C-alpha cells in the first residue's frame, strides 16, 4: 500500500494510490454477502469535499472481522449494529475495519469525501464560459471508494440506491431512472444539516444487483434531449443524451439516437436477451480520461465526441464504435460480470468484438473490420511485442496489476481472437452459447470456464486446447511465405510455396507456442490495365512450422503474394522481398482498401523491427496516400508518418524530412477534390510537418484567413488552434496571438489548446515553465496537465539530438524526470502518475536508454505499474534507436515519385 500523504499544494489534497489484493478480495467475499447500499450525498459543488451518509446491510460469518473500502477526507461517525466504533481505532487511509460481525449487519457511516480533478472518483469541472459546475463519477477500477464506503470488488454485487441533494436547477442522473426532485428538508433534518437554499432532493430507486464500479452519479446544469425505443420484450426504454450547456448546440442527437437504436436491435437479436436495465442515458462529460464508461444505464462518454469543429470521418466512425462498445457492455460486464479482474477481457474483448461486428452489420460503416485491422490490431501487435506482454486472461494479483492492464491485449488482441473463435465454432453456435451464458449467469459473476462450457455445449468442440494457446499464453507468431519458381516456356511458374510460422521471441518472456491459424494466401497480378487484382485465393490451416501449399504448384508466379490475405488470423506477417517491393511501389493499383492497409501495416511492422529503413515507409505512404480513401486507414498512416519522421529517423535528418513531407502534402492538396476527408487530412498533415519559413508563412496566411475556405475546408476553431500550435512549435507566433484566440474561444478546450501552444515553444523558458507547472501545481486538472505535457514534449530534442537546457533551479529535464518519477506514484492518483510517466519521459537517445536501464536496476521495489511503464518506455526507446541506426545507414534518399 502506498504511503499516505496529507500534504497540500494550492489548496488541493495530493491523493496517492491504494491497493487491494486478489487474496484479500477472495477472503472478504467468503465472509460477506451484501444485501443493499443506501447512499445520501449532499452535492453543492463548492468547497473541497461533500458529505455522504451510507447505510450498508450485509450478512457475514459471525464473529469475523473484515473491512470496507473508503478514501475519505474525514470520517465523522461509524455505527455497526447499533454500536459506535471509535474512528481512531478502525479508520486507515483507504479502509475501515469492521470487527465482531454478526450474521446480519447494518453499518452506517457518516463521512466527507473529496471532489477530484483527476477524472477519478467524483470529478468536478467548472466551465470557464459560464462558471457553471459539472460533476460526474468515474469508478473503474477502484474509485467508488472515493465517493462512498463500499466493498470495492466486482463479485460483491448488490442493489444501490442514491439520494442526492443538489441545487434545484441542476440535473441529476444515476443508474435508475431520474425521479422528480422534491423538497430536501426531511433529508437535512435527518442528517442534522443546516438547510441550503435553492436545493432539491433526487431519491433514486434501488438498482438491480450490480458491481460498484458501474454505479454512477452525474450532476450539474446538463442539458438533455430525450427519445424512446421499444425493447424486444415489448417494454419501453427511455433514451437520454446529455452534455454541458455551452456544448449543447453541437450535440447531433438524431445521429446518436440512430446509432443507439441500431445497436439495441442488433444486440437483442444476436444475444436473445432483452436490454436488462430500465433506461439508457448517454452523458458527454468534460475532462474524461477514457473514451467512455459502461455505467449501467448511465454511460459517460468523452465530450470530444460532441463535435464543435469538423471531425475526420475516422473520428465519426470511432464515435459509432465507442457508442456500440458501451452498449454491448450492458450485457457483457453489467448483466454478467467477471468475478475478478483477471477476466477483465470477458468485458472488454467481447465489447470490442461485438461493437465492431455491430458497426459493420448495423450501421453505414460496413467496412468496420478494415478499421479494426488497421487500428485495433496494430495496437494489439505493438502491445504484444513489449516486455510487458501478457496472456489475454492475465494474472491479476492486485489492483496495481489491473490498473495498467487496460491495453491492446485486453481489448484488441482479445477481440481478434474472438473473431477467430466465432469462425471456428460457427456463428450460430457461438451466439447460441452466449444465450445460454446470459440465461444461466444473469446478475452474477463468472470466470472463463463458465463461458467456455456453454460454447462447448453448443458447438460440440473441445475448447481447452484453444483456450490454452490463444487465451492463456502471451506473444505472437510470425508467418512468412517462401516461393520457389522455374521458367517454363519463358514464363515463371511456382514450383513450391511454403508457409512457415515461428514464435516471435521477446527477451525475458516465455517463448510463444506455435498456434493453429486459419488464413488465406492471395495471388495478385497485373490485369493488363494497370491494376493489381486477386487471381487466386488459397484458404489454409496451419499448426506446424511449415506447410506446403500444393494448389499453387504450376501456377504462373504472381506479381504479389499476400500473406494473411483478408486479415483472417492474428499474426505478424512478412511477404517475400519481391512481393513487398512491388506491393509498396504499386500500392495505389490495388482496388481494395483492406489489401492496401495490410500491405502498409506489414511494411510498417518491418520498419519497427529494423528490417527496413523508415525512408521506405515514408516514401511509400507519400507516393500512394492519394489512393488511400479509407478514412481510418489514412489517419493511421498520418500518425505513423509522424512517428517515422519524428522518432525513427536520426534527429539530424528530421528537418529535411518534415520539409519534404509538407511539400508533398501541398502537392496532394492540389490533386484531390477540395473539401473531402482526404483533403482535410492532407491539410492537417501539412500543418503538422511545416518547417521552412515559406511553409510557416503559408500557415500564417491561413491563420489570417480564419473562417475562410482553404481547399474547400473551413478554418474553424479547432483548425485555427492547430495552426497556432504548429507556429508556436517553431517560435513563429507572438503570445499576443494566443491570448487573442483564447478570447475568441474562451472554452475549456481553448484554454487547453493555449496551454499546449505556450509549452510547445522550443525555448528553455517555455519548457521550464511547463515542466515546473506540472510538478508544482497540484491543482492542475487532468486535462490541463496532459495539454501542458503534450506541448512540453514537442521540440524538446534539438537537431543535434540534445535536449533543450532547463532554467534554474531545475536540473536538466532528464535528470529531473528520473529523480522524481517514483514520487509521483506516491503522491498522485493513478491517472495523473501515468500521464506524467509517459508524457514527460525524455526524448529517445543513448543517454535516455542508459538512464532508464539504471533506474530500473536501482528501483526493483517500485510500484508494479510504474515498473511496467518504465520497461515499456525503455523498449520503445530501444526500438526507436535501432530504427534510427537502420535509417541512418540506408542508401536510399528521401525522394518521392519513385
Please list the active-site residues: 326
Query: Strands 337-338 and 445-446: what pairing?
Result: parallel
**What's 137's DSSP letter?**
E
Helix axes 677-689, 717-728, angle to 10 degrees: 20
d(CA 397, CA 55): 30
- 708 phi-psi bin (left φ>0, alpha ψ -120 to 50, beta other): beta
**Helix, coil or strand: residue 524:** strand
Please state, as a whole number, how many other Cβ atoms lie within 10 Å of the Cβ of residue 751: 15
- The Cα–Cα gap between 53 and 72 comes to 12
Nearest to 251 by CA among 228, 282, 292: 282
Please spell the DSSP secondary structure of 748-785, one letter per residue: HHHHHHHHHHHHHSSSHHHHHHHHHHHHH-TT--HHHH
Q: How far does CA 216 lie from the centroid of its chain? A: 20
Question: What is the C-alpha to C-alpha distance for residues 474 and 495, in angstroms, rounded to an integer?
Answer: 36
Distance of CA 518 to the CA centre of its chain: 29
* Cell numbers placing 293: 464508461
Cβ count near 43 (within 10 Å): 24
Task: Name the burial class of residue 597, with classes exposed (0-12), middle (13-18) and buried (19+) by CB atoms within 10 angstroms of its CB.
Answer: buried
DSSP lists the bridge partners of residue 618 as: none
Euclidean distance between CA atoms 217 and 138, whole angstroms:
9
Q: Which residue has the cell 455551452?
A: 246
3-state secondary structure 230-275: ECCCCCEEEEEEEECHHHHHHCCHHHHHHHHHHHHHHHHHHHCCCC
- Say if CB 852 and CB 867 are below 8 A apart: no
Task: Give the containing element (helix H, strand E) for 323.
Answer: helix 313-329
- Report d(CA 539, CA 562) in Å as an integer: 12
User: CA 222, CA 241: separation in Å to the nearest integer?
Assistant: 10
Rg (alpha carbons) of the chain, rounded to whole number: 28
**Which alpha helices (H) appear in 146-244, and where do they start and end?**
185-190
643 Cβ contact list (under 8 Å, min separation 6): none
Helices 748-760/735-744 angle, 10° precision: 170
Task: Encode 552-591: b = buried (16+ Cβ within 10 Å), e = exposed.
Answer: beeeebbbbbbbbbbbbbbbbbbbeeebbebbbebbbbbe
Question: 741: closest CA among 727, 858, 818, 384?
Answer: 727
Alpha carbons 782 and 880: distance in angstroms, whole number = 28
Q: Give the whole-angstrom CA distance, residue 228 versus residue 130.
A: 31
Coil, strand or helix: which one is 832? helix
Q: Give the strand pairing for 104-114 and 49-60.
A: antiparallel
Q: Are 133 and 171 in contact (CB under 8 A)?
A: no
Bridge partners, 75 (sequence order)? 111
Amino acid at each position: 500500500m502506498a504511503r499516505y500523504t496529507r500534504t497540500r499544494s494550492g489548496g488541493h489534497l495530493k491523493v496517492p494510490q491504494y491497493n487491494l489484493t486478489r487474496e484479500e478480495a477472495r477472503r472478504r467475499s467468503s465472509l460477506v454477502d451484501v444485501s443493499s447500499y443506501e447512499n445520501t450525498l449532499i452535492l453543492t459543488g463548492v468547497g473541497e469535499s461533500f458529505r455522504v451518509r451510507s447505510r450498508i446491510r450485509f450478512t457475514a460469518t459471525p464473529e469475523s472481522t473484515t473491512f470496507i473500502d473508503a478514501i475519505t477526507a474525514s470520517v465523522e461517525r461509524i455505527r455497526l449494529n447499533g454500536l459506535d466504533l471509535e474512528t481512531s481505532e478502525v479508520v486507515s487511509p483507504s479502509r475501515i475495519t469492521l470487527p465482531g460481525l454478526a450474521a446480519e449487519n447494518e453499518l452506517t457511516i457518516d463521512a466527507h469525501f473529496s471532489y477530484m480533478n483527476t477524472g477519478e472518483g467524483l470529478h468536478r469541472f467548472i466551465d470557464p464560459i459560464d462558471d457553471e459546475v459539472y460533476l460526474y463519477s468515474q469508478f473503474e477500477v477502484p474509485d467508488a471508494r472515493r465517493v462512498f464506503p463500499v466493498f470495492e470488488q466486482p463479485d460483491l454485487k448488490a442493489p444501490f440506491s442514491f439520494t442526492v441533494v443538489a441545487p434545484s436547477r441542476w440535473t441529476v442522473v444515476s443508474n435508475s431512472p431520474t425521479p422528480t426532485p422534491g423538497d430536501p428538508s426531511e433529508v437535512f433534518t435527518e442528517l442534522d444539516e443546516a438547510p441550503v437554499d435553492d436545493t432539491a432532493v433526487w431519491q433514486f430507486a434501488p438498482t438491480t444487483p450490480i458491481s460498484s464500479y458501474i454505479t454512477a452519479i452525474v450532476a450539474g446544469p446538463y442539458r438533455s434531449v430525450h427519445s424512446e425505443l421499444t425493447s424486444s420484450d415489448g417494454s419501453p426504454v427511455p433514451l437520454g443524451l446529455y452534455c454541458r450547456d455551452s456544448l449543447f448546440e453541437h450535440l447531433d442527437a438524431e445521429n446518436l439516437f440512430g446509432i443507439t437504436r441500431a445497436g439495441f436491435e442488433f444486440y437483442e437479436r444476436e444475444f436473445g436477451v432483452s436490454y436488462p436495465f430500465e433506461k439508457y442515458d448517454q452523458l458527454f462529460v468534460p475532462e474524461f480520461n477514457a473514451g467512455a464508461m459502461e455505467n449501467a444505464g448511465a454511460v459517460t462518454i468523452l465530450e470530444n465526441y460532441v463535435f464543435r469543429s469538423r471531425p475526420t470521418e475516422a473520428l465519426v466512425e470511432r464515435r459509432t464504435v465507442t457508442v456500440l462498445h458501451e452498449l454491448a457492455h450492458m450485457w457483457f460486464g453489467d448483466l454478467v460480470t467477471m468475478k475478478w479482474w483477471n477476466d477483465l477481457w470477458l468485458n472488454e474483448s467481447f465489447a470490442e468484438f461485438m461493437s465492431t461486428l455491430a458497426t459493420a452489420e448495423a450501421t453505414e460503416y460496413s467496412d468496420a473490420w478494415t478499421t479494426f485491422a488497421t487500428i485495433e490490431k496494430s495496437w494489439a501487435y505493438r502491445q504484444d511485442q513489449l516486455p510487458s506482454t501478457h496472456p489475454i486472461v492475465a494474472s491479476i494479483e492486485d489492483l496495481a496489476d489491473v490498473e495498467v492492464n487496460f491495453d491492446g491485449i485486453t481489448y484488441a488482441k482479445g477481440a481478434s481472437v474472438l473473431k477467430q473463435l466465432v469462425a471456428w465454432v460457427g456463428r450460430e453456435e457461438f451466439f447460441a452459447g452466449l444465450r445460454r451464458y446470459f440465461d444461466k449467469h444473469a446478475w452474477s459473476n463468472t470466470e472463463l470456464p463458465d463461458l467456455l462450457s456453454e460454447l462447448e455445449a453448443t458447438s460440440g468442440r473441445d475448447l481447452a486446447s484453444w483456450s490454452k494457446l490463444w487465451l492463456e499464453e502471451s506473444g505472437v507468431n510470425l508467418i512468412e511465405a517462401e516461393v520457389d519458381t522455374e521458367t517454363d516456356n519463358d514464363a515463371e511458374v511456382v514450383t513450391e510455396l511454403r508457409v512457415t510460422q515461428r514464435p516471435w521471441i521477446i527477451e525475458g518472456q516465455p517463448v510463444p507456442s506455435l498456434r493453429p491459424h486459419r488464413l488465406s494466401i492471395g495471388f495478385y497480378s497485373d490485369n493488363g490495365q494497370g491494376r493489381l487484382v486477386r487471381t487466386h485465393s488459397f484458404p489454409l490451416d496451419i499448426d506446424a512450422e511449415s506447410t506446403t501449399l500444393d494448389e499453387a504448384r504450376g501456377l504462373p508466379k504472381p506479381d504479389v503474394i499476400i500473406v494473411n490475405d483478408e486479415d483472417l488470423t492474428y499474426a505478424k506477417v512478412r511477404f517475400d522481398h519481391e512481393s513487398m517491393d512491388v506491393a509498396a511501389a504499386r500500392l495505389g493499383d490495388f482496388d481494395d482498401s483492406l489489401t492496401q492497409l495490410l500491405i502498409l501495416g506489414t511494411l510498417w511492422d518491418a520498419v519497427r523491427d529494423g528490417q527496413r529503413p523508415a525512408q521506405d515507409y515514408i516514401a511509400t505512404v507519400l507516393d500512394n496516400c492519394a489512393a488511400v480513401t479509407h478514412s481510418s486507414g489514412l489517419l493511421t498512416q498520418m500518425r505513423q508518418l509522424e512517428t517515422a519522421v519524428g522518432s525513427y529517423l536520426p534527429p539530424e535528418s528530421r528537418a529535411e524530412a518534415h520539409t519534404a513531407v509538407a511539400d508533398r502534402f501541398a502537392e496532394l492538396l492540389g490533386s484531390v477534390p477540395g473539401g473531402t476527408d482526404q483533403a482535410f487530412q492532407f491539410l492537417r498533415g501539412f500543418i503538422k510537418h511545416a518547417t521552412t519559413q515559406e511553409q510557416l508563412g503559408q500557415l500564417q496566411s491561413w491563420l489570417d484567413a480564419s473562417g475562410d475556405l482553404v481547399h474547400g475546408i473551413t478554418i474553424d476553431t479547432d483548425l485555427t488552434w492547430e495552426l497556432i500550435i504548429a507556429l508556436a512549435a517553431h517560435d513563429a507566433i507572438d503570445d499576443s496571438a494566443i491570448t487573442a484566440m483564447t478570447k475568441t474561444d474562451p472554452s475549456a478546450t481553448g484554454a487547453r489548446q493555449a496551454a499546449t501552444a505556450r509549452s510547445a515553444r522550443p525555448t528553455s523558458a517555455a519548457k521550464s515553465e511547463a515542466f515546473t507547472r506540472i510538478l508544482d501545481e497540484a491543482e492542475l486538472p487532468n486535462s490541463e496537465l496532459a495539454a501542458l505535457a503534450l506541448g512540453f514534449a514537442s521540440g524538446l530534442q534539438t537537431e543535434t539530438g540534445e535536449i533543450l537546457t532547463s532554467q534554474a533551479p531545475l536540473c536538466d529535464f532528464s535528470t529531473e524526470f528520473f529523480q522524481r518519477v517514483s514520487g509521483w506514484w506516491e503522491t498522485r492518483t493513478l491517472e495523473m502518475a501515468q500521464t506524467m510517466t509517459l508524457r514527460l519521459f525524455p526524448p529517445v537517445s543513448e543517454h535516455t536508454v542508459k538512464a532508464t536501464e539504471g533506474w530500473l536496476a536501482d528501483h526493483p521495489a517500485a510500484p508494479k505499474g510504474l515498473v511496467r511503464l518504465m520497461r515499456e518506455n525503455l523498449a520503445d526507446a530501444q526500438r526507436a534507436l535501432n530504427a534510427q541506426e537502420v535509417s541512418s545507414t540506408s542508401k536510399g534518399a528521401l525522394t518521392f515519385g519513385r
